[in-house]
Structure 1
């Protein structure tokens, strides 16, 4: 009998498996997990959104399958009209509040080449618009959500709808109560029940999370959810937080038993984890995992074909935002109880590589992330690396 190649690859999983919960979850600064991790060699490696004097920062990307032939990347494209400050690459100093728009371009060859830029959502706010998510509801219906930034107390979540598979977009609607919110690109998801989740975080307030101005800490995570394609909107009844700065930028996946698992950014040197047993309406108290992390988000998705989970995150313990390398991938074959097959996507010590997105296309996975030299002043590009899925099991 011939054993499928993927089954042979799975057979060695126990050799590299690490349980998520360890006896000493709080790591020393600089610790990482997965000894002797190889750096994966992509089948395609490109700067998807390059630095330009007029557009010196790019991030918060998502690569979306429009149909069997086309991919569309949407991302946050920052812009400046003061070109006198941007004559040196990487030194425009483009911070989080600088003017930004949501831009797109299309590929017809599985991400190898891309067409011209097109602004998908212009900036209509006092600061900027970013953190977009595309979610497919049907063959023709797609929703686009994003966050419009006005001030330190008003960053709200908006949504537009396409009924012709991304050709045109309907009117804008605000789905959040007025307040301060952040989302992460490529983190919204549609559950097996049809419910759609938009993971979010904001500062705690007695009336509702997000109902206060941001003052550094006390961040709580939750989800906006809808069972009718966000014609009506609900939010979680409770929220997820932890000591230190709190919990933010949740990365959520649906487990095989119907529960939801969320990984959470925080300032305690490891990823935290929470569960929901009711589709995101309520969440368990977050607990520390044994996965070292700085203050940086993760992303977790289910691999088509194998049913395993793929996690990407900055695999290094730190109580601050940095360092943001290495960017590591790991696979779980038991729905998140343990992780193995640790591989690095980027491991250069003089770069940042963070905020990854993950898109599966056939037998390949497209991984994009913001990248920049450590010497740059907040400017960034978006790097795209494409791999065969089998590479993660070798």
Structure 2
């Protein structure tokens, strides 16, 4: 059954395999990155995940007394042989010690692991920062700033194109919600704005890659739907934002193009609330099939991050009730 309206998404779905010729999803494991009785902070949110080496992952999130509080810092943990390490802080107080830290994004390049994050009293005031590691996240460089006017990837992972071009999906909130993309260049970063004539109010894009070279970004909005924008020239220009038929309750999403060419989206398939949390698949990025529900019931299950590792496993991390970060490992038949 294809997703054509938010009404269809209110049905209870546990597992569907109508795209089984391309991918059959199977949950291998579901666990907490840190146990509920071992949480280092009362509240946590906005996880990110990266494969640091075959069979090894690293996750990061922000945690403190509550979102936006001056004690919020970035925390991280490593995964190996089916177990998560103890959580450790990855950032410390900066010059303005009363600023919260926000929205970490882990991304591995050929030579190093990069931790992007934001610092500020609110998303309208924050600035983009990053640290690097040459030993898979065990030790980190000092904190560096993105150039003035640039934030880096604001919530979802960058995309590296076959031609080596790197694109940061980004957005701002200080003059309304606006999506843009950033291209780090040796001679200075370039920022590409995205028009929003319908005033959908979009932020936090996530990028899909298509076999014909097109790029597609799906975006969170405050208009009850996921918005999309397309690029036909490797990210140099992007189309104006358009609404999709996918619902969005003003909550973060993430998506990935799998190795077999299918597109996978993790999102809250409702227009209000942050439950359930589900996975959808698409052959073309336009028609989406709800495949499996990761979490349902009262509370908040939100802000997913998804990757496919070098062995073909899918890993998803997400906020569990603002009290923990959950990790789901999924196998799929290609």
Distance 1:328 1:311 in 2: 8
In structure 1, what is the equivalent of residue 19 of structure 2? none
Distance 2:209 2:39 in 1: 41
Higher strand share: 2
Shift in CA distance, 71/366, structure 1 to aligned 2, threshold 3 Å: same
Of 296, 301, 320, 1:353 maps to 301
In structure 2, what is the equivalent of residue 42 of structure 1? 27
Give the conservation status (yes or no) of the 8 Å contact 2:230–2:239: yes
Distance 1:64 1:279 in 2: 23
The count of residues paired between Structure 1 and Structure 2 equals 321
SS in structure 1 at match of 2:139: coil
What RMSD, in angstroms, separates the aligned Cα atoms of the two structures? 2.8
Distance 2:299 2:105 in 1: 26
Q: Which 5+ residue runs of structure 2 have no aligned equivalent?
A: 16-24
Distance 1:302 1:182 in 2: 18
Distance 2:83 2:112 in 1: 26
In structure 2, what is the equivalent of residue 210 of structure 1? none
Matched, 1:223 2:177: no
Q: Cα distance, 1:344 vs. partner?
A: 1.2
How is 1:172-321 mapped onto 2 (pairs within 5 angstroms)? 172-177=143-148, 183-184=154-155, 186-203=156-173, 214=174, 218-228=176-186, 232-236=188-192, 238-241=193-196, 243=198, 246-304=201-259, 306-318=260-272
Matched, 1:56 2:42: yes
Structure possessing the higher radius of gyration over alpha carbons = 1
In structure 1, what is the equivalent of residue 90 of structure 2? 120
Distance 2:108 2:228 in 1: 26
Give the conservation status (yes or no) of the 8 Å contact 1:156–1:181: no
TM-score by length of 2: 0.85
In structure 2, what is the equivalent of residue 88 of structure 1? none
Distance 1:234 1:179 in 2: 9
SS in structure 2 at match of 1:278: coil
Shift in CA distance, 180/164, structure 1 to aligned 2, threshold 3 Å: closer
Shift in CA distance, 98/245, structure 1 to aligned 2, threshold 3 Å: farther
Shift in CA distance, 346/152, structure 1 to aligned 2, threshold 3 Å: closer
Q: Cα distance, 1:355 vs. partner?
A: 0.5
Q: Which 5+ residue runs of structure 1 have no aligned equivalent?
A: 1-15, 81-93, 204-213, 373-378
For residues 149-179 of structure 1, the C-alpha deviation after alignment (integer angstroms, 9 at most, x for no partner) is: 1456531111223344434333332114258
Distance 1:219 1:315 in 2: 21
For residues 51-90 of structure 1, the C-alpha deviation after alignment (integer angstroms, 9 at most, x for no partner) is: 5686011122122111124211122122x4xxxxxxxxxx
In structure 2, what is the equivalent of residue 33 of structure 1? 9
Of 67, 71, 78, 2:57 maps to 71
Distance 1:144 1:332 in 2: 30
Give the conservation status (yes or no) of the 8 Å contact 2:280–2:290: yes
In structure 1, what is the equivalent of residue 128 of structure 2? 157
For residues 71-110 of structure 1, the C-alpha deviation after alignment (integer angstroms, 9 at most, x for no partner) is: 11122122x4xxxxxxxxxxxxx2334421112221221x
How is 1:98-177 mapped onto 2 (pairs within 5 angstroms)? 98-109=70-81, 112-124=82-94, 125=96, 126-138=98-110, 140-150=111-121, 154-177=125-148
TM-score by length of 1: 0.73
For residues 254-303 of structure 1, the C-alpha deviation after alignment (integer angstroms, 9 at most, x for no partner) is: 22222211111112221111112233332211111111221112111012
Shift in CA distance, 371/352, structure 1 to aligned 2, threshold 3 Å: same
For residues 197-230 of structure 1, the C-alpha deviation after alignment (integer angstroms, 9 at most, x for no partner) is: 2222114xxxxxxxxxx3xx721011222245xx
